[in-house]
Homo-oligomer: A and B are copies of this chain.
Amino acid sequence: MELQKFKHHIEIRIRTYHVDVQNIVHNAWYLFFIEDARIEYFRSVGMLLDEETFRTKSKFQIVRNTIDYSYPAFFDEVIQIFTRVAYVKNSSVGLEQVILEKKSQRLIVEGTGVAVYLDAKTNRPERLSEEMRTKVSAFEKDDVEFLQ
């Protein structure tokens, strides 16, 4: 992935309980880290994802995740989780994520995800609003594609 396209990242420190019997961060924890990063990404973009929104307006459901693990992360390291929206379709967004170890800048994980936007009442996919498209576009500039 092209790191220069990413405009947002958060940092998380690896805790004792992230590390498993093989003394590396367990593969599942990265999806929690990625979740944190996605929520903070959308906050930065200006899209509020709060309980009220989830219950009364729209849900945001992950329909696909892929993760490639390049190198383990270890206890007490600080990792940087980069997030961007690569494309927007009618009712879904395509996410890309890169995780680096902060100090060495070595590549830990590359991931992709697809999130579908659902009407909170019907649970049916709904078109991402013009407001959201405008906000993502303003944040990502030329690095996001609007496919539908």
The distance in angstroms between the C-alpha atoms of A28 and B32, with both chains bound, is: 6
Q: Is the CB of A27 within 8 A of B65?
A: yes
CB neighbours (8 Å) of A36 from chain B are 13, 15
Q: Is the CB of A74 within 8 A of B51?
A: yes
A64 interface contact, C-beta 8 A? yes
How many monomers of this chain does the complex have? 4
A76 interface contact, C-beta 8 A? yes
CB neighbours (8 Å) of A27 from chain B are 31, 35, 62, 65
Q: Is the CB of B66 within 8 A of A66?
A: yes
- Please give 19 more A-B residue pairs, beta carbons under 8 A apart, in addition to A19-B21, A63-B69: A15-B32, A15-B36, A16-B22, A17-B20, A17-B26, A20-B20, A21-B54, A21-B75, A23-B23, A23-B51, A28-B28, A28-B31, A28-B32, A31-B31, A61-B69, A65-B65, A65-B66, A65-B67, A66-B66
Interface residues of A, Cβ cutoff 8 Å to B: 13, 15-17, 19-24, 26-29, 31-32, 34-36, 39, 49-51, 54, 59-69, 72, 74-76
What would 17 A/B residue contacts be, using CB atoms closer than 8 Å? A13-B36, A16-B26, A17-B20, A17-B26, A21-B75, A22-B60, A26-B35, A27-B31, A27-B35, A27-B65, A28-B29, A51-B74, A62-B69, A64-B66, A64-B67, A65-B67, A66-B66
